[in-house]
Amino acid sequence: MNGQPDVDAVDLDGYFERVRWHGTPTVNLATLQALLQAHMRHIPFENLDVLLGRPVRLDLDSVQAKLIRAARGGYCFEHATLFAAVLQRLGFDAVSHTARVTLFAPRTASPRGHMFLSVTLPEGRFVVDPGFGALASTEPVPIPEDEPCARADATHWLQSDAARWTLKVRTADAVVDAWVTTMEPEHAIDFEVGNHFMSTHPDSPMRRRLMLCARPPRGQVTVMNQELTVREGTRSTVHRIADRVALRGLLREHFGFDLADVERLRVPSIAHWT
């Protein structure tokens, strides 16, 4: 099963209610697109448990308890574990992979600390990556059979060399290399090792920075440390989060949950929050 959870344990009704999806689940590209967008719109990205020193568990029951029943968000390992289980329960050919994130460090200095999925359909193979935060694609990204030629309006595409695939992301300022992968199937232990490093090692970006992302209709709300960016359509505004009390209010307003413990949150990248 390539490290995938017991898909029979997936609470599909609870998941569909959580992501507010009421379509007919058919194994095709349209359903994959709709589910990915619903998932990313209603389950935010957040690394609060890591910063609070709480264990991040990847067994399906723990992931569902947090992301579905507690209406929380999570980071890549949690999102991808849940989404893989849902897709497999519905009959999709979904495989889990690891990648080296190259936003904060070069490939040679970055661990396999990211989890994403590939899905094979009659239309081809696609990457789906619901847990990559603010730079994640809300659309399945095609895995080209030949050398890709990105459309002029493309925001995400895959570029290959002899051994690796790189996810390219077009931001407002530049095209960045987001992550690099060999695209080989991985096993449960690989995700446990990556998750342990990302959630506990003092040099992990998840342990050093506050990172949040929510996607309301027609926009996006992101937090990087004390910087809050609210995008509505083509208009963006940037604000400074005054303190951890204000952060708690922000969670209630934009992320759909309350977490009292954030008022004692310790963030190494914010000197007066340590």
pLDDT band at 2 (very low <50, low <70, confident <90, very high): very low
In which residue are the tokens 């990172």 written? 211
Q: Is the pLDDT of residue 139 over 90?
A: yes
pLDDT (tens digit, 9 = 90+) per residue, 167-188?
A: 999 998 899 999 999 999 999 9
> At 48, is the secondary structure helix, strand, or coil?
helix
168 CB-side CA count, 13 A: 18
Question: Domain extents for the chain?
Answer: 7-200, 209-273
| pLDDT (mean) for 90-103 | 97
| Segment among 29-33, 73-77, 252-256, 270-274 with least mean pLDDT | 270-274
C-beta of residue 131 within 8 angstroms of C-beta of residue 118: no
| pLDDT (mean) for 100-118 | 94
Instruction: Say what percent of the chain tops pLDDT 70.
Output: 96
| pLDDT (mean) for 136-143 | 97
Closest of 256, 255, 254, 248 to residue 52, by C-alpha: 248
Enumerate the β-bridge partners of residue 95: 118
- Please state which CATH number belongs to domain 7-200: 3.30.2140.20
pLDDT band at 152 (very low <50, low <70, confident <90, very high): low
Strand order in the sheet with 45-46: 45-46, 211-214, 219-224, 227-232, 235-240
Cα 83 from Cα 117, distance rounded (Å)? 9
Average pLDDT, the chain: 94
Q: How far is CA 191 from CA 14, 76, 114, 195, in A?
A: 25, 10, 8, 6
pTM: 0.95
